Amino acid sequence: MKRQVSVRLLLLVVAILFLLTGCSPKLVNPDLFSEGLLAVQKDGRFGYINNTGKKVIEFYYDEAYAFKDGVALVKVGTKYNLINKKGAKVFEDDYDFLERDFESGLVWYVANEKLGLMNASGKKLTEPIYHANKSSYSNTYWISSFFSNGYARVSNGTKYGFIDTSGKVKIEITYDGVGSFVNGLAYVKIGTKYGYIDKSNKLVIPATYDSANSFNEHNHAIVRVGNFYKVIDKSNKVVFEDSYTDIEFVGDYYIVEKNERYFLLNLKGVKTSETTYDIGMGLMEGYFLFANQAAEQLYVYSPKNKLVMSFTVLVDLEALDDFYIIDGKAWASLERTNTVELFNGKASETIALTGNRIIDIDQNLIVMRSNGKYGLLNMKGIRIVEFNYDNILLFGDGYLLYELDGLYGIMTTKGKIVIEAKYTDFSLDLN
């Protein structure tokens, strides 16, 4: 639904949406060296090095991905395989596409443009008989099947069903659409309506809804009838309903919209306050915000509905760039001329940092940019790494990946270079 929003407040909300990875409590970044190895590219080919820079697996691959459980996905030409830490192929055959399944540890494969399932040793659990989604932009595939609660959805191209981790069909491919199993139930589409089945394929909630979502950890699901949303439980009992044109689950609460106003409900559907807002949205990790455009006010709340940050017309909203949780305390960054200020939720503490913009904060270290170059500071603003680099990425295992003149190298979080910049690319993903 479109609404008029003041320019400054709109810019602020857009900035927060754009920076969602920054405006949630920061999780420790993944390790740079997954199981002791890193995929890097040199002379157009990928290989693997260890944390001393020693080449462990030859530079042979067109694509290479991170190790997990002792194996990594690689591509040569147009074909995919898994390799072990000695660089030996795991599978005898190469495939048109592979993707590792996170919950089960199994592997989805594509052969002859059809999708199948096998284990990590290459034993086929199903033949390639299911529909494989092929990208319209490139000659590759994307997998919409994945395991949740032990079941994965599969399709023949028009209908959907479920298989288990042995590859056995548990629910026949008869539905017009399905969601994943969560807390023992999955939504299904029958014709144009949605209901819910259990793992025995019993329709426990009739298909009467115009849209449906998976159940959350409180055994609640958001469903829609006509233009209005409501929340039901697993017995199809209505938890709460009204003329709500939107409902969003955030932590232990719901943000709802009614008559173009937003407010917060608890798990029983009771208002937490009579105050309403022009804007309401969830961030990440259960954090959420409300805003009123007329007063140019924005409030950020924790998952427990505790106010952790507030911005009003008295604060320079145009300078506001990002929001962080550091050691349990809420901070925001404001960009000034050649300086960035970090201040906490009540503005009782401010840290001034030399530079133009904060890029990342993690492990009480700050990656910062100044005049187009990147450096590293501590929380007192003391420089650990000078602003000499084209990019810096901070990781949880004590390493920085730095870019210099188009090449990548590695240093420690204390600024000691351990691998000179000589690689043209790197890969951290599992798939």
Dihedral angle of Cα 42, 44, 46, 51, to the nearest 10 degrees: 10
Query: With contact defined as beta carbons under 8 Å apart, do 96 and 110 qualify?
Result: yes
Q: What is the percent of the chain with per-residue pLDDT over 70, rounded to a whole number?
A: 91
Return the pLDDT at 171: 98
- Residue-wise pLDDT for 29-61, tens only, equals 589 999 999 999 999 999 999 999 999 999 999
Q: Residue 346: pLDDT band by 50, 70, 90 thresholds?
A: low
* Mean predicted lDDT score pLDDT of the chain: 89
For residue 176, pLDDT over 80 is answered with yes
How far apart CA 213 and CA 221 sit, in angstroms, is 6
Look up tokens 């939504």; give the residue. 187
Query: With contact defined as beta carbons under 8 Å apart, do 112 and 122 qualify?
Result: no
For residue 89, pLDDT over 90 is answered with yes
For residue 68, pLDDT over 70 is answered with yes
Q: Fill in the DSSP letter of residue 277.
A: B
Query: With contact defined as beta carbons under 8 Å apart, do 110 and 431 qualify?
Result: no
Residues with Cβ within 8 Å of residue 300, at least 6 apart in sequence: 23, 283, 287, 288, 289, 307, 308, 309, 310, 323, 330
The DSSP-derived string for 74-115 is EEETTEEEEEETTS-BSSSS-BSEEEE-TTT--EEEEETTEE
Look up tokens 């420690």; give the residue. 412
For residue 4, pLDDT over 80 is answered with no
CA distances from 215 to 198, 219, 226, 231, 313 (A): 12, 5, 20, 10, 39
Cα angle 392, 375, 300; round to 5: 80
Mean pLDDT, residues 373-395: 95
Nearest CA-CA partner of 46 in 429, 420, 426, 430: 426
Q: What 3-state DSSP class applies to 318?
A: helix
Nearest CA-CA partner of 253 in 196, 180, 306: 306
Distance of CA 18 to the CA centre of its chain: 13
Tokens in use for 215? 């159940």
- Residue-wise pLDDT for 225-283, tens only, equals 999 999 999 999 999 999 999 999 998 999 999 999 999 999 999 999 999 999 999 88
Return the pLDDT at 7: 44
Q: Residue 314: pLDDT band by 50, 70, 90 thresholds?
A: low
For residue 416, pLDDT over 90 is answered with yes
Burial (Cβ within 10 Å: 0-12, 13-18, ≥19) of residue 127? exposed
Mean pLDDT, residues 290-318: 79
**Phi, psi (degrees; rounded to nearest 5) at 230:** -150, 170
Tokens in use for 158? 């028009």
